[in-house]
């Protein structure tokens, strides 16, 4: 499942808090967490938190195939955001809706709807 959030200040602690509250507390402990290789995402604090959770922590430079997946996902979400925002700078308000769109449409790479794979049912969305 793809998760994203906007931050006013992007700190190492904010990233760990996001992983804890929005990923582990919502979905349980994942087998792997694959993240981009930036200082705040790949910090010692993050590595320590993830290792204490018995979860594999991989950053994309060490996983070339994962980097392709992350980049393709980012491209798709940006494409959805561009269509929704249409020139205004309020993209941070539209991010949850673009993620919903991404999660509830068939991904050609896997031939399935991500929401269906995670929750075992199709999403009921407003039209």
For 54-105, the pLDDT digits (tens) are: 776 665 555 566 667 778 888 889 898 888 887 777 888 889 989 998 999 9
Inter-residue contact 33 to 55 (CB < 8 Å): yes
Per the structure block, which two tokens stand in for 122? Answer: 């199709």
Phi first, then psi: give them for residue 119, nearest 5 degrees. Answer: -100, -10
Give me the chain's average pLDDT, please. 81
> What is the rounded average pLDDT of the residues 37-51?
76
Is residue 30's pLDDT more than 60?
A: yes
How many other CB atoms are found less than 10 A from the CB of residue 72?
Answer: 12
Distance, CA of 79 to chain centre: 15
Is residue 123's pLDDT more than 80?
A: yes
- Residue 45: CB partners within 8 Å, gap ≥ 6? 12, 13, 16
The tens digit of pLDDT for each residue in 45-55 reads: 887 887 787 77
**Cut 0.85: pTM above it:** no
């Amino acid at each position: 499942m793809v998760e994203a959030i906007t931050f006013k200040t992007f700190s190492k602690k904010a990233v760990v808090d996001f992983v804890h509250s929005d990923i582990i507390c919502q979905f349980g402990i994942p087998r792997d967490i694959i993240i981009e290789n930036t200082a705040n995402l790949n910090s010692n604090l993050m590595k320590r938190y993830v290792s204490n959770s018995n979860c594999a922590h991989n950053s994309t430079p060490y996983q070339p195939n994962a980097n392709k997946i992350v980049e393709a996902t980012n491209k798709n979400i940006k494409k959805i955001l561009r269509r929704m925002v249409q020139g205004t700078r309020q993209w941070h308000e539209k991010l949850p809706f673009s993620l919903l769109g991404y999660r509830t449409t068939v991904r050609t790479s896997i031939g399935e709807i991500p929401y269906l794979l995670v929750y075992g049912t199709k999403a009921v969305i407003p039209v």
